[in-house]
């Protein structure tokens, strides 16, 4: 399923746009945020979680014929960045909504 959604850059951007719009709309309607505030908070959560998702399932290139001069030996053979962008959007959306639900309990 994820491979189908991440097949092209335009399809990936479309999926991410729809998901972000849904999470921001939920933040605005359920938690009384402004649109700008919801977008800003979601962006911070997304950007932070991106660095947690990037190293997942990376395998270094082990075929000597595919390594180019100057390439880092730990560079991933197939980084799957479009899939990771979608996963980051989903995980960040869940973290965003959980944080918004917890904020009132902490007095924030």
Quick one: pLDDT at residue 8?
A: 93
For residues 66 and 98, the model is more confident at 98
**Which tokens sit at 32?**
């009384």
- Domain annotation covers residue 69: no
Structural domains in the chain (count): 1
Quick one: pLDDT at residue 81?
A: 94
- Domain annotation covers residue 42: yes
Find all residues with CB under 8 Å of 37, minimum gap 6, and list them.
none
Please state the pTM of the whole predicted model: 0.87
Quick one: pLDDT at residue 108?
A: 63
Full residue range of the structural domain in which residue 46 is found? 2-57+76-106
**pLDDT band (50, 70, 90) for residue 78:** confident
pLDDT in tens, 11-63: 999 999 999 999 999 999 999 899 999 999 999 999 999 999 999 988 888 88
- Domain annotation covers residue 62: no
Length in residues, the chain: 108
Quick one: pLDDT at residue 6?
A: 86
- Domain annotation covers residue 15: yes
- Domain annotation covers residue 93: yes
């Amino acid at each position: 399923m994820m491979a189908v959604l991440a097949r092209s850059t335009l399809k990936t951007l479309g999926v991410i746009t729809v998901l972000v719009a849904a999470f921001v709309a939920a933040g605005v309607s359920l938690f009384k945020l402004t649109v700008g505030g919801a977008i800003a908070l979601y962006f911070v959560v997304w950007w932070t979680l991106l660095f947690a998702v990037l190293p997942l399932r990376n395998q270094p290139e082990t075929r000597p014929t595919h390594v180019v001069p100057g390439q880092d030996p730990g560079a991933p053979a197939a980084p799957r960045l479009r899939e990771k962008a979608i996963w980051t959007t989903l995980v960040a959306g869940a973290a965003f909504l959980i944080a918004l639900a917890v904020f009132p309990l902490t007095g924030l």
